[in-house]
């Protein structure tokens, strides 16, 4: 080797050394025990080594997930390999290979964080692109589809091969004007984006609404402008939107018009009636005793009953009639095209008859009826408020006359309505202020002709309106939910007097009967409450007879039987009131742990004049003997009836023949006098 040659080689070696020393890759050489033999500047810096004054080992410093022993092992079989490692937030790629006859290991280390992140992003985008529920399409400037995702195919019905390289126009629904698309493309060209609702057509021809958002961007590869279109199928939202609109106008339970929409329809009907000089009838329908169904069988049965009723209206009425549920158990109907009042009343009668058909819901027999009030335009009113008010008054009149019927409005009904409204507030105050009094009506034992009991009846004398019948105010109290407090306040009043009544009668078995409101009876707190009251007043429950109306007891016999058993166990006497007015099943009757049947006064009042009443009373008496129950007749007004009842073997009498219900003091005097005889 001449000097020139050796110079050349030296300079080559220098160059090589220089190249390695200043390489942007970290390079190092290790001996087989992992000791660092050489490292270039980059390698030292990456490992934060600033002076090499002591021995350094691979395992102490490098950015690699493998330790040196693992590397040496792998090199034995592979000679060279590459591995990627993530250290902290950075990515490194490491090459390892043998040199110098496998006595040294070279490690070249390269940071690849940026490339790696880009790759991860791209993978994520690809996953997003393919799995998102939004349809995605990349479209070029000419409107040709370049790529689509799976959701695009799902929504549009076009597969990738069917859509790619096709114009985006294949989705056009034909529902938008040319101007619409011109505007869309103008916006894209000049503003780089467009978004809005658009109707497109699926491959199967179905048209659907979508929310479309298009953004212009530059393709990083071709550097050409393209558009990314992102769209969501909003047909289901549109359905929801329709639903929201529907429920704004309709009652959610029955699907009938709601109150607000009904009022609009009523106004509309008035206007068209003015124009056409025609009549129409506004029906106010209230479901009788609906509250009892809710209270005894629960709200789910009540709800189903309301649905049943709404279907019944649809069946009975004509298609053009308007039906609405204005709240709770109240319905309004508009009936048009009739000749005269009789036609209107016939419609009402059909409704009354239809609801009388047996209704079984969830295994419960729901016996309800309609009270229907009718106001006719223009005779009974020419505006919405008057017509509504008058149909309501007529409905109330039906209720007052014993429910289950229909009436056309008459003038004096308005006064009734005003009275009812004012009574409602007055009654609440009267109950709170303890103005409801307890009266006592004697009960006479047929065998001994002695007063052995009494029934407690409420009396209300209104400061200005005078005496109000309990039938009227009890109905109001049941309607506005104050009956519970009323019955409780009466019980508190009379329980206080029971021991005095017993001593006045001289009979420790004297029976004081109180009426139980069905609503109270079926509430959870009733039994504990009345037991606590009896304990509080230190009364023997044997002296108290609870009167439960037949209709209610039968309606939910299972619950009724349970409650009755509890009360019986506690020691109360139990009577079924108004017997004969409901539809008793003998099966249940025999399960009721009761002491007495009270024959309803409607059968007793004209017992001696009506052979049918006599037959009924006779069979009730026989029934009670059969079941070993006591039997009592109420409404006993004269001696003929007393004689007849005695002949029929009735056990107890109650009625005006003996005495009307009396205030406490008079009642005590009456017993003393009567029993002295
Ligand atoms: P009810 O339980 O059937 O009470 C018997 C009704 O018959 C009473 O009417 C009584 O005054 C009346 N009556 C008694 N004897 C004769 C008679 O010889 N001839 C006629 N025509 N009627 C007679 P009243 O006092 O008007 O009570 C009506 C209804 O109001 C009662 O019917 C009862 O269901 C209810 N009621 C009265 N007070 C209360 C109360 O404090 N709480 C509850 N929950 N209901 C009550
Ligand atoms: Ca009673
Ligand atoms: Ca009764």
Per the model's pLDDT, the better-predicted residue between 369 and 586 turns out to be 369
Distance 569 CA to ligand 2 centre (A): 22
Residue nearest to atom 5 of ligand 1 (CA): 634
Q: Which positions ≥6 away from 444 have C-beta within 8 Å? A: 450, 451, 452, 652, 653, 654, 658, 674
Q: pLDDT-derived band of residue 221, with 50, 70 and 90 as boundaries?
A: low
pLDDT at 192 over 90: no
Q: What percent of the chain has pLDDT above 70?
A: 98
pLDDT of residue 447: 96
Residue 263, ligand 1, Cβ within 6 A: no
Residue nearest to atom 24 of ligand 1 (CA): 470
Residue 487, ligand 1, Cβ within 6 A: yes
pLDDT at 100 over 80: yes
Best CA proximity match to 289, nearest among 579, 485, 518, 554: 518
pLDDT of residue 426: 93
Contact 201, 173 (CB under 8 A): yes
Q: pLDDT-derived band of residue 587, with 50, 70 and 90 as boundaries?
A: confident
pLDDT at 88 over 90: no
Which of 456, 479, 601, 602 should be mutated for ligand 1, with most atoms under 8 A from CB?
Answer: 601
Do the strands 322-327 and 193-201 form a parallel or antiparallel pair, or are they unpaired?
Answer: unpaired
The rounded Cα 351 to chain-centroid distance in angstroms is 29
First-to-last alpha carbon distance for the chain, in angstroms, is: 162
Calpha distance 615→632 (Å, rounded): 16
pLDDT at 327 over 80: yes
Q: pLDDT-derived band of residue 222, with 50, 70 and 90 as boundaries?
A: low
Contact 468, 455 (CB under 8 A): no
User: Which residues have C-beta under 5 Å from ligand 2, the single-atom ion?
Assistant: 515, 547, 577
Pull the structure tokens for residue 632.
Answer: 């009592």
Q: Which positions ≥6 away from 288 have C-beta within 8 Å? A: 368, 369, 370, 371, 399, 403, 404
Q: Which positions ≥6 away from 126 have C-beta within 8 Å? A: none
Residue 661, ligand 1, Cβ within 6 A: yes
Calpha distance 631→625 (Å, rounded): 8
pLDDT of residue 241: 73
The three-point CA angle 140-141-144 to 5° equals 45
Q: pLDDT-derived band of residue 454, with 50, 70 and 90 as boundaries?
A: very high
Q: Which positions ≥6 away from 4 have C-beta within 8 Å? A: none
Domain 250-409 has CATH 3.20.20.140: no
Q: Which positions ≥6 away from 618 have C-beta within 8 Å? A: 648
Residue 148, ligand 1, Cβ within 6 A: no
pLDDT of residue 631: 97
Residues 328-336 have a mean pLDDT of 95
Where do runs of H (alpha helix) occur along 107-252?
A: 113-131, 150-156, 160-163, 178-191, 235-249
pLDDT of residue 570: 96
Residues 90-113 have a mean pLDDT of 90
pLDDT tens-place string over residues 155-190:
999 998 899 899 998 888 877 888 888 888 888 888
In degrees to the nearest 10, what's the CA dihedral of 16, 21, 24, 30?
A: 100
Calpha distance 236→256 (Å, rounded): 23
Q: Distance of CA 371 to CAs 283, 368, 638, Å?
A: 10, 10, 35
Distance 515 CA to ligand 2 centre (A): 5
Best CA proximity match to 427, nearest among 480, 383, 390, 379: 480
Atom of ligand 1 nearest to the CA of 657: 18
Q: Which positions ≥6 away from 663 have C-beta within 8 Å? A: 437, 439, 440
pLDDT tens-place string over residues 306-322:
999 999 999 999 988 99
pLDDT tens-place string over residues 519-534:
789 888 899 999 999 9
Contact 574, 548 (CB under 8 A): yes
Calpha distance 250→325 (Å, rounded): 9
User: CATH homologous superfamily for 433-676?
Assistant: EAL domain (3.20.20.450)
Calpha distance 72→74 (Å, rounded): 6
Residue 441, ligand 1, Cβ within 6 A: yes
Distance 632 CA to ligand 1 centre (A): 14
Calpha distance 427→436 (Å, rounded): 9
Calpha distance 379→375 (Å, rounded): 8
pLDDT tens-place string over residues 481-514:
889 889 999 999 999 999 999 999 999 999 999 9
pLDDT of residue 385: 94
pLDDT at 128 over 70: no
Stated as kind and residue range, the H or E segment containing 523 is none
Residue 578, ligand 1, Cβ within 6 A: yes
Considering the domain 132-238 in this protein, what is its CATH number? 3.30.450.20
Do the strands 405-408 and 369-377 form a parallel or antiparallel pair, or are they unpaired?
Answer: parallel
Half-sphere exposure of 554 (CA within 13 A, CB side): 21
CB atoms < 10 A from the CB of 190, how many?
8
DSSP 189-229: HHHSEEEEEEEEE-TTS-EEEEEEEEEEEE-TTT--EEEEE
DSSP structure class, residue 435: -
Residues 641-656 have a mean pLDDT of 97
pTM for the model: 0.55
Calpha distance 185→214 (Å, rounded): 10
pLDDT at 151 over 90: no
pLDDT of residue 583: 66
Stated as kind and residue range, the H or E segment containing 541 is none
- Range 179-189 burial, b when 16+ CB lie within 10 A, else e: eeeeebeebbe
Describe the crossing of helices 498-505 and 664-676 by its angle, rounded to 10 degrees.
20
Residue 635, ligand 1, Cβ within 6 A: yes
Parse the chain into domains and list their residue ranges.
Answer: 3-113, 132-238, 250-409, 433-676
pLDDT at 677 over 90: no
Asked if the domains at 132-238 and 433-676 fall in one CATH topology, the answer is no
Residue nearest to atom 26 of ligand 1 (CA): 470
Where do runs of H (alpha helix) occur along 510-585?
A: 518-521, 526-536, 550-555, 557-570
Q: What percent of the chain has pLDDT above 90?
A: 49
Best CA proximity match to 478, nearest among 388, 578, 561, 549: 549
Residue 474, ligand 1, Cβ within 6 A: yes
pLDDT of residue 220: 62
| Ligand that lies nearest to the alpha carbon of residue 494, given by its number in the listed order | 1
Calpha distance 398→405 (Å, rounded): 6
Residue 656, ligand 1, Cβ within 6 A: yes
Which CB contacts under 8 angstroms, 24+ apart, belong to 94-97?
94/62, 94/63, 94/64, 96/71
Which of 477, 483, 514, 515 should be mutated for ligand 1, with most atoms under 8 A from CB?
Answer: 515
pLDDT tens-place string over residues 462-473:
989 899 999 989
Calpha distance 170→59 (Å, rounded): 62
Contact 213, 230 (CB under 8 A): yes
Q: Is 457 helix (H, G, I), strand (E, B) or coil?
A: strand
Residue nearest to atom 17 of ligand 1 (CA): 635
Structurally, what CATH architecture does the domain formed by 3-113 represent?
A: 2-Layer Sandwich (3.30)
Q: Is 10 helix (H, G, I), strand (E, B) or coil?
A: helix
DSSP 570-592: HT-EEEEEEETSS---HHHHTTS
Per the model's pLDDT, the better-predicted residue between 173 and 436 turns out to be 436
Which of 470, 481, 482 should be mutated for ligand 1, with most atoms under 8 A from CB?
Answer: 470
What are residue 196's phi and psi, to 5 degrees? Answer: 165, -175
For 400, counting Cβ atoms within 10 Å of its Cβ (0-12 exposed, 13-18 middle, 19+ buried), the class is middle
Q: pLDDT-derived band of residue 240, with 50, 70 and 90 as boundaries?
A: confident
pLDDT tens-place string over residues 558-571:
889 999 999 999 99
Q: Is 77 helix (H, G, I), strand (E, B) or coil?
A: helix
**Positive or negative, the Cα torsion across 304, 305, 306, 307?**
positive
pLDDT tens-place string over residues 255-286:
899 998 899 999 999 999 999 899 999 999 99
pLDDT of residue 541: 97
Calpha distance 409→463 (Å, rounded): 29
Contact 658, 635 (CB under 8 A): no
């Amino acid at each position: 080797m001449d000097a020139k040659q050796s110079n050349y080689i030296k300079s080559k070696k220098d160059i090589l050394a220089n190249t390695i020393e200043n390489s942007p890759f970290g390079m190092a050489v290790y001996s087989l025990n992992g000791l660092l033999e050489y490292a270039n500047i980059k390698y030292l810096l990456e490992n934060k080594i600033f002076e090499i004054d002591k021995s350094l080992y691979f395992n102490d410093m490098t950015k690699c997930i493998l330790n040196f022993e693992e590397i040496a092992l792998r090199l034995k079989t592979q000679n060279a390999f590459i591995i990627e490692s993530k250290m902290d937030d950075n990515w490194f790629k490491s090459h390892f290979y043998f040199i110098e006859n496998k006595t040294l290991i070279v490690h070249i280390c390269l940071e690849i964080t940026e490339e790696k992140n880009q790759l991860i992003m791209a993978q994520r985008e690809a996953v997003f692109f393919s799995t998102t529920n939004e349809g995605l399409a990349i479209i070029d400037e000419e409107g040709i589809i370049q790529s689509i995702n799976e959701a695009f195919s799902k929504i549009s019905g076009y597969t990738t091969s069917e859509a790619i390289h096709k114009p985006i126009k294949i989705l056009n629904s034909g529902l938008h004007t040319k101007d619409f698309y011109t505007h869309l493309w103008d916006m894209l060209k000049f503003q780089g984006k467009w978004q809005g609702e658009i109707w497109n057509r699926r491959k199967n021809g179905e048209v659907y609404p979508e929310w479309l958002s298009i953004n212009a961007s530059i393709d990083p590869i071709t550097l050409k402008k393209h558009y990314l279109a992102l769209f969501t199928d909003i047909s289901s939202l549109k359905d929801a939107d329709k639903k929201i609109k529907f429920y704004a106008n309709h009652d959610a339970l029955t699907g009938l018009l709601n109150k607000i929409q009904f009022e609009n329809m009523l106004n509309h009907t008035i206007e068209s009636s003015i124009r056409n000089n025609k009549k129409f009838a506004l029906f106010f329908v209230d479901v009788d005793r609906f509250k009892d169904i809710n209270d005894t069988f629960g709200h789910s049965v009540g709800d189903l009953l309301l649905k049943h009723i709404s279907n019944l209206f649809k069946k009975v009425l004509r298609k053009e009639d308007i039906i609405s549920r204005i709240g709770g158990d109240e319905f309004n109907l508009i009936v048009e095209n009739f000749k005269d009042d009789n036609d209107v009343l016939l419609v009402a009668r059909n409704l009354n008859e239809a609801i009388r058909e047996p209704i079984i819901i969830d295994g419960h027999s729901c016996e309800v009826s309609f009270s229907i009030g009718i106001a006719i335009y223009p005779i009974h009113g020419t505006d919405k408020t008057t017509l509504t008010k008058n149909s309501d008054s007529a409905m109330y009149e039906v209720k007052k006359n014993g429910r289950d019927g229909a009436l056309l409005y008459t003038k004096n009904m308005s006064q009734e309505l005003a009275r009812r409204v004012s009574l409602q507030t007055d009654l609440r105050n009267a109950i709170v202020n303890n103005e409801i009094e307890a009266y006592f009506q004697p009960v006479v034992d047929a065998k001994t002709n002695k007063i052995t009991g009494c029934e407690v009846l409420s009396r209300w004398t209104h400061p200005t309106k005078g005496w109000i019948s309990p039938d009227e105010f009890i109905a109001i109290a049941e309607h506005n939910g104050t009956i519970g407090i009323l019955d409780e306040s009466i019980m508190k009043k009379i329980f206080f007097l029971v021991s005095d009544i017993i001593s006045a009668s001289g009979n420790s078995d004297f029976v004081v009967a109180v009426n139980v409101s069905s609503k109270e009876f079926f509430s959870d707190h009733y039994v504990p409450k009345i037991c606590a009251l009896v304990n509080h007043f230190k009364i023997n429950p044997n002296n108290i007879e609870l009167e439960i109306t037949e209709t209610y007891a039968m309606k939910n016999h299972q619950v009724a039987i349970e409650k009755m058993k509890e009360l019986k166990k506690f020691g109360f006497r139990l009577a079924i009131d108004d017997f004969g007015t409901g539809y008793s099943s003998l099966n249940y009757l025999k399960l009721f742990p009761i002491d007495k049947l009270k024959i309803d006064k409607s059968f007793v009042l004209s017992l001696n004049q009506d052979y049918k009443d006599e037959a009924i009373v006779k069979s009730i008496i026989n029934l009670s003997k059969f079941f070993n129950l006591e039997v009592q007749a109420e409404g006993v007004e004269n001696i003929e009836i007393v004689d007849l009842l005695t002949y029929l073997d009735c056990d107890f009498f109650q009625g005006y023949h003996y005495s009307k219900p009396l205030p406490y003091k008079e009642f005590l005097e009456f017993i003393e006098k009567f029993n002295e005889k």
